[in-house]
Amino acid sequence: MAGTQTHTLSSDKFLTLSVNLLHKVFLEATRTEAKNLFRDISEGQAVPLTRVRMEDDSEVRFEVALDHSQYRGRLNFGAFRAGLTLLVANIADALREERPVKTFHAEHDANVVIFGISAVTVEEGEPSVLVLGADAGSGQPTVVLQLLYLDHAQFAEQAGTETSDNG
């Protein structure tokens, strides 16, 4: 049995690749294609996007998944697309400005990471926080780009704590 080879990309290169893939499949694609992909990931499926050839000629498959369990309200394609558009723009701005991007690794698996750039949108008075994560921990040559909605209340609590500490 062949061993699994590990590839490492800098955060900047990985984010650039990820943003380009997400932009292509959700924002450049026809509305019908993007909506079909959204439907699949909103049902809990990880959907294959493409294969990327690495410098050593090996291939890594990229997939996309969505966790909307923390989304308040009923998520529809328009709300998702608005959040994703803002997330892609925020990541692109950070890369263009060469700002350092915080990364958060899962306690249970160092191959699972969330990038510290978010997109906050408001639908029907409810804020939503969308972030990009990645999971390369399957033991296969696969990376799952994870679009995650986080509980916005944790950010409001943090902001309240920071304000009272500084006051």
Beta strands in the chain (DSSP E): 47-53, 59-67, 103-105, 112-123, 126-135, 142-150
User: Which pLDDT does position 134 carry in this prediction?
Assistant: 94
Instruction: Look at residue 37 and tell me whether its pLDDT is greater than 50.
Output: yes
Instruction: Look at residue 151 and tell me whether its pLDDT is greater than 50.
Output: yes
Instruction: Look at residue 3 and tell me whether its pLDDT is greater than 50.
Output: no
103 against 6, higher pLDDT: 103
User: Which pLDDT does position 157 carry in this prediction?
Assistant: 55
**Across 11-20, 50-59, 151-160, which has the greatest mean pLDDT?**
11-20
User: Which pLDDT does position 154 carry in this prediction?
Assistant: 74
Look up residue 109 and give its amino acid.
Answer: D
Question: In whole angstroms, what is the distance from residue 136 CA to residue 102 CA?
Answer: 18
List pLDDT tens digits, range 91-136: 999 999 999 999 988 887 778 899 999 999 998 888 999 999 999 8
Domain boundaries, the chain: 11-166
List pLDDT tens digits, range 45-58: 999 999 988 777 88
What is the mean pLDDT of the segment spanning 133-143? 85
For the chain, helix (H) and strand (E) counts, in that order, are 4, 6
